Amino acid sequence: VSTIGHLFVASAASRYTLPRTPLRTLVAWTAVLLAISILPDIDLVLPKFGIPDTFTLGHRGATHSLLAALIVSALVTLVAWLTHFPPWRAALGALASIGTHSLLDTLSPGPGIAWLWPFSTQRLPTFPILPIAPVDHLFSRYGLSQLAAEAFVFLPFLLIALIPRRGEDPGTRP
């Protein structure tokens, strides 16, 4: 899954963990969840800043491990608790956003995932059934068709995030 699927899932997670809240809080919370949902893919960018692959083990390495997802979720929950935000909602939202990243990656083409880092550097296999938009040639005919397919598969999550529910104040939606 490229960025788009992770973002759609995170928007749904944001909506469900904060159903009724002032717009400002909701926007901030959504921004946090969107950011952490794609955070593991920082391993694609780090080498461009001179951080060698030996640190992250390359794409789908350390940053895609279960431990990394748990650490980020714990940090988000801690900050939420310190800012008087319901910690269990924060934990659920964070886990649903970053915790699903490697699960979704498992279902899309690409290298295996180092789920068990740092205890093992072994990469568990993927079962590529989902389309993936190729980041490096996104604007080719193939890239756009894959992007459209990925957006279509994940559309239900975006709809969950955006469709108003009965009795909900429309002013609280993003």
| Shortest reach from residue 113's CB to Zn ion, in Å | 8
Owner of token pair 């593991």: 40
Judged by CB, which is closer to Zn ion: 2, or 30? Answer: 2
Pull the structure tokens for residue 15: 């909506």
Q: Which amino acid is at 46?
A: L
DSSP-derived secondary structure letter, 125:
P
Sign of CA dihedral 162, 166, 168, 169: positive
Sites for Zn ion among residues 90-119 (CB under 5 A): 105
Rounded to whole angstroms, the Cα distance separating 168 from 174 reads: 13
Judged by CB, which is closer to Zn ion: 40, or 58? Answer: 40
Of 9, 14, 41, 68, the one binding Zn ion (CB under 5 A) is 41
| Shortest reach from residue 81's CB to Zn ion, in Å | 28
Candidate ranges 21-29, 32-40, 76-84, 152-160; the one touching Zn ion (CB under 5 A): 32-40
Burial state string for 74-83 with b = 16 or more CB within 10 A and e = fewer than 16: eebbeebeee
| Shortest reach from residue 44's CB to Zn ion, in Å | 8
Kindly state whether residue 43 participates in binding Zn ion, applying the rule CB under 5 A: no
Residues that bind Zn ion (CB under 5 A): 40-41, 105
